[in-house]
Chain A
Amino acid sequence: MMWDRLVEEAPRFFTYWNLRFFVEAALTTLALSVTGSVFGALVGFVLAVTRMTRGGVLLPVRILAIVVTEFFRRVPFLVTLMLVFFVSQMSGNEWPLFAIAAMSVFLIAAAYLAEIIRSGLLSVHHNQWDAAAAMNFSLGQTIFHVILPQAWRIILPPAFGFFVLFIKDTALASQIGVTELTFAGKVLNNRGFSATLSFGTVLLFYFLLSYPLSLIGARLEARLAATRNRQS
């Protein structure tokens, strides 16, 4: 009976305009995660390197980096989103909703990627750090010429995995009204289409975005792990 209703409803649901609405919403979802992750990776790198510094002068900066990383890793995305939303209202200049959502993705991406990058930097054997220090390399030279060329293989697979996770996290941006995939499903549901078709299609679109990327991630992991084993 339910199946008959779905079959009857499907032609009205899968129209050109509805599908186009979904595709545009999927692009918004993708744009949100890419913007957040790219800036998050840059700032995450800075946070990770900050925590590798030594010496008393930089201690406050180091503590700040730890507090920022730990805070945004331990606050749910929904709460971060609401905080950014209300802080932007409090400051008087209301940002566009997309900017608020992208900012939230950026904050959690920076925190999570900082941890991944730091684990990657720490995974390089300490002899390498000592050798660089013995050759009087500065921290920047050590990281760019010695550590990163060895660490990026370890950093890239989990970082890519988190990028795929952020795509799914952006579903919560529908709560503040960004027209991404989940919101598109809600709009069509409110317009009278059945929840099965609306949210079923949303699930399908997320799968189409996420599955190819997770396959690439799995291949990346296998290849980089293989080259690492061959070298050692």
Chain B
Amino acid sequence: MNYTLQYGQVLPYLGYFAGGALLSLQIAFLSFCGGLVIGTGFASVTAFGPRPLRVLVKVYVTAFTNTPQLVQIYFLYFALPDAGILLSSYQAVLIGMTLNAGAYLTEIQRAGFLSRRQTEMEAAEVLGFSRWQQIRYVILPHIAKVLFPPLANQYILMTLGTSMAAVFGVEELTGRAFNVNAETFRSVEIFSLVAVFYVVITFAATLALALIGRLAFRARMRIL
């Protein structure tokens, strides 16, 4: 092993990497929000909807959770042009991640919706709560408390998942690592530095989410 690590050559790119980290966070946030909309809608369908719709949602969830996100985006990016739909790499990544997140978030939220207890509803009725009050004071706080930790966990996993955008040439954190690697060839230094970037941004996200969960929903989350 006669290789000397030269972090000095990589340090000038710190700002460039930080910009990439922001783009990673942006992709994760946008696709998580999109996935949350899909997930909430579809989870309500599985919990309360008619049977044909429930089957459709089930097919969507099964198809998307049993195939890799990378190949789903490959399909969107390379196969949709066959049908005349051209997506930019950023669009393909965003749509692919949103659809994938939608499937996982449907699964998670379905479990949350089912966790509402009949006795709690009956208790609320006995106390003379109106329908709206039942939703506002009994169902929502309960569901939010149960759902917050797994949703936060999924958000962290999705932040890590954004790195596959680099495969399609999106210049987020990992994409920028590949760019700098092509310029400087300081591969080990670059990728270890980028790894530390990911540790820092996901750890910051975990801390922030744990704090929000504790203050807003009284959800207890383990940090370490």
Spell out A's residues near B (CB within 8 Å): 2, 5, 66, 70-71, 74-80, 82-83, 86-87, 89-92, 168-169, 171-172, 174-175, 181-182, 185, 189, 194-196, 199-200, 202-203, 206-207, 210-211, 214
Binds A, one of B30-38, B118-126, B184-192: B184-192
The answer to whether B75 and A76 have CB atoms under 8 Å apart is no
In whole angstroms, what is the CA distance A70 to B72 when docked?
28
User: Which of B69, B195, B224 has a CB less than 8 Å from the CB of A66?
Assistant: B224
Binds A, one of B7-15, B41-49, B78-86, B212-220: B78-86
The answer to whether A182 and B160 have CB atoms under 8 Å apart is no
The answer to whether B174 and A203 have CB atoms under 8 Å apart is no
* Chain B residues positioned under 8 Å from A195 (CB to CB): 74-75, 78-79, 81-82
* Chain A residues positioned under 8 Å from B69 (CB to CB): 168, 171
Q: A195-B81, A200-B79 are in contact. Are A79 and B71 (CB under 8 A)?
A: no
The answer to whether B187 and A86 have CB atoms under 8 Å apart is yes
Q: Could you give, for residues 152-175 of chain B, a 1 whenever the CB lies within 8 Å of some chain A CB and a 0 otherwise?
A: 000010001111101100000010
**Chain A residue at smallest Cβ distance from B199:** A74
In whole angstroms, what is the CA distance A76 to B178 when docked?
14
Name the interface residues of B190-204: CB closer than 8 Å to any CB of A.
191-192, 194-195, 198-199, 202-203
The answer to whether A76 and B160 have CB atoms under 8 Å apart is yes
Q: Tell whether B63 is near chain A: CB-to-CB under 8 Å.
A: yes
The answer to whether A200 and B75 have CB atoms under 8 Å apart is yes
In whole angstroms, what is the CA distance A204 to B78 when docked?
16
In whole angstroms, what is the CA distance A210 to B84 when docked?
30
In whole angstroms, what is the CA distance A158 to B70 when docked?
22
* Chain B residues positioned under 8 Å from A206 (CB to CB): 66-68, 71
* Chain B residues positioned under 8 Å from A181 (CB to CB): 71
Q: Could you give, for residues 118-159 of chain B, a 1 whenever the CB lies within 8 Å of some chain A CB and a 0 otherwise?
A: 000000000000000000000000000000000000001000
**Chain A residue at smallest Cβ distance from B195:** A75
The answer to whether A211 and B191 have CB atoms under 8 Å apart is no
The answer to whether A2 and B82 have CB atoms under 8 Å apart is yes
In whole angstroms, what is the CA distance A230 to B84 when docked?
57
User: Which of A75, A87, A199 has a CB less than 8 Å from the CB of B79?
Assistant: A199
In whole angstroms, what is the CA distance A171 to B67 when docked?
10
Q: Tell whether B115 is near chain A: CB-to-CB under 8 Å.
A: no
Name the interface residues of B1-31: CB closer than 8 Å to any CB of A.
1-3
Q: How far is the CB of B133 from chain A (nearest CB, A)?
A: 33
The answer to whether A182 and B68 have CB atoms under 8 Å apart is yes
User: Which of A75, A76, A199, A207 has a CB less than 8 Å from the CB of B66?
Assistant: A207
The answer to whether A196 and B79 have CB atoms under 8 Å apart is yes
Q: Tell whether B179 is near chain A: CB-to-CB under 8 Å.
A: no
Q: Which of B62, B63, B70, B199 has the most A CB atoms < 10 Å from its CB?
A: B70
* Chain A residues positioned under 8 Å from B70 (CB to CB): 171-172, 174, 182
The answer to whether B79 and A211 have CB atoms under 8 Å apart is no
The answer to whether A74 and B174 have CB atoms under 8 Å apart is no
Q: A195-B78, A211-B62, A214-B66 are in contact. Are A182 and B83 (CB under 8 A)?
A: no
* Chain A residues positioned under 8 Å from B83 (CB to CB): 2, 196
The answer to whether A79 and B177 have CB atoms under 8 Å apart is yes
In whole angstroms, what is the CA distance A91 to B1 when docked?
5
Known: A194-B79, A199-B74. 11 other contacts (CB 8 A): A76-B162, A82-B191, A83-B192, A86-B187, A89-B187, A168-B69, A174-B70, A195-B81, A196-B79, A200-B79, A207-B67
26 contacts between A and B (CB under 8 A): A71-B195, A75-B195, A75-B198, A78-B164, A78-B166, A79-B191, A79-B194, A80-B195, A82-B191, A83-B195, A86-B187, A90-B3, A91-B1, A92-B1, A168-B68, A172-B70, A175-B167, A194-B79, A195-B82, A196-B75, A196-B83, A199-B74, A207-B63, A207-B66, A207-B67, A210-B66
